[in-house]
Amino acid sequence: MNDQNYDALFLVSFGGPEGPDDVMPYLENVLRGKNVPRERMLEVGEHYNSFGGVSPINQQNRDLLEAIRAEFKQHNIDLPVYWGNRNWHPMIVDTMRQMKDDGIQKALAFFTNGYSCYSGCRQYRENIADAQASIGEGAPEVHKTRMFFNHPSYIEASVDRVRTAFDKIPQERRAETKFLFTAHSIPNSMADFCKYSTQLTESCRLIMESIGNEYDWELVYQSRSGPPQQPWLEPDVCDRITELKKEGNVNDIVMHPVGFVSDHMEVLYDLDTEAKDLCDELGINMERSLSVGVHPKFVTMIRELVQERIAGTERLAIGEMPANWDVCPQDCCLYKPQRRPAKA
């Protein structure tokens, strides 16, 4: 039993621009220290600008914040809930300064990511450590909740989302439907130091156990941002759709962004725009499943992750892998980005 005395929950997320003037400074924050060509940054900037420079991610986190507060109230959990981002306002350091001013000494953080990797785990822990260093004495101590890829309430929420999309496929074509699960591609050199793909595959397998083991499914990747010579996780979602068409056996695709918890710009552009346009061109019907968002079962899961830490309730996990660790080992999710070679 953990039985820790936390005095706040800290929702920690990625952040997104909320107007055209935010887009470039946001992308500079996202890409600091990463080996990504400037052309790719400008290209992604155009994706954001085509939606008025606003990513839905911040509003989705505001909605999640409200849903968590309501859930805590209903279950008599007396913890204030704060929110801070890595890349855009409200920034992690500013929220942690506010927490200090409010007298918060020890917070439990929930990262909006269920899968181990540098960006979704270690980098957030580094962001928090940097904030603590910058705030100095009295900065809140922060622990994190575990990765939730195999939590039964998360799987239940995901199954419900996938089933809703699947229900839109005409009955007589369902048996031949292809399920594509997408996640953010990462450099192989990042994937080598974490269980990102293994955990994603386990979530997909668990979701499909409920949908039906007779259906065909695959995990594919989206939103690749590296230089062409650097290997990233494959196959890319659009490349795979094209191949499937060539193989000649696909009329309907259910696509679920398993690697993301909200329908932010990378979902709206890379799936709903790019992948959808490709499917239309190839004569494939694509039904995109919503991410878990504020699904009641996802909010339940957040409450359960908090309760297991404050009250020592059971650490729920299903499938072939155990519940992930609460405290990351020292080498968890390491990543040393390859730099571009200096010009001679």
Ligand X SMILES: C=CC1=C(C)c2cc3[nH]c(cc4nc(cc5[nH]c(cc1n2)c(C)c5CCC(=O)O)C(CCC(=O)O)=C4C)c(C)c3C=C
Interface positions with ligand X (CB under 6 A): 13-14, 27, 30-31, 34, 36, 40-41, 44, 57, 112-113, 117, 119-120, 184, 186-187, 190, 225, 260-262, 264, 266
Distance, CA of 103 to CA of 82 (rounded, Å): 13
Residue 125 C-beta: closest distance to Fe ion, Å: 7
Size of the site for Fe ion (CB under 5 A): 4
Q: Which does 264 bind (CB under 5 to 8 A by kind): Fe ion, ligand X, none?
A: ligand X
Structure tokens at 169: 């496929």
Name the residue nearer to ligand X (CB basis): 12 or 169.
12
Residue 60 C-beta: closest distance to ligand X, Å: 9
Name the residue nearer to ligand X (CB basis): 114 or 140.
114
Pick the binder of Fe ion from 121, 183, 208, 211 (CB under 5 A): 121
Cβ-Cβ contacts under 8 Å for 292 (sequence gap 6 or more): 154, 157, 158, 161, 261, 262, 298
Residue 232 C-beta: closest distance to ligand X, Å: 8
Q: Are 10 and 17 a contacting pair, CB within 8 Å?
A: no
Residue 226 C-beta: closest distance to ligand X, Å: 6
Order of strands, edge to edge, in the sheet holding 216-222? 216-222, 178-184, 252-256, 285-288
Name the residue nearer to ligand X (CB basis): 72 or 115.
115
The vertex-148 CA angle with 15 and 231, nearest 5°, equals 65
Pick the binder of Fe ion from 268, 282, 328, 337 (CB under 5 A): 328
Residues forming the annotated binding site?
A: 184, 266
Residue 266 C-beta: closest distance to ligand X, Å: 5
Residue 247 C-beta: closest distance to ligand X, Å: 29
Residues forming the annotated binding site for Fe(2+)?
A: 184, 266
x-marked contacts with Fe ion along 271-310 as a string, rule CB under 5 A? ----------------------------------------
DSSP output for 22-47: GHHHHHHHHHTTS---HHHHHHHHHH
Q: Which does 308 bind (CB under 5 to 8 A by kind): ligand X, Fe ion, none?
A: none
Tell me whether the omega of the peptide bond preceding residue 90 falls within 30 degrees of 0, making it cis: yes
Render the burial of 216-242: b for 16+ CB within 10 Å, e for the rest.
ebebbbbbbbbeeebebbebbbbebbe
Among 88, 95, 80, residue whose Cα is nearest residue 18: 88
Using a 10 angstrom Cβ sphere, with 0-12 exposed, 13-18 middle and 19 or more buried, the burial of residue 116 is buried
Structure tokens at 312: 């020592």
Name the residue nearer to ligand X (CB basis): 211 or 333.
333
Name the residue nearer to Fe ion (CB basis): 132 or 177.
132
- Which listed range, 83-91, 212-220, 292-300, 332-340, lies at the site for Fe ion (CB under 5 A)? 332-340
Residue 295 C-beta: closest distance to ligand X, Å: 15
Q: Which does 333 bind (CB under 5 to 8 A by kind): ligand X, Fe ion, none?
A: Fe ion
For residue 84, the cross-strand partners are 12
User: Using CB under 5 A as the criterion, which residues of the chain lie in contact with Fe ion when the complex forms?
Assistant: 121, 328, 332-333
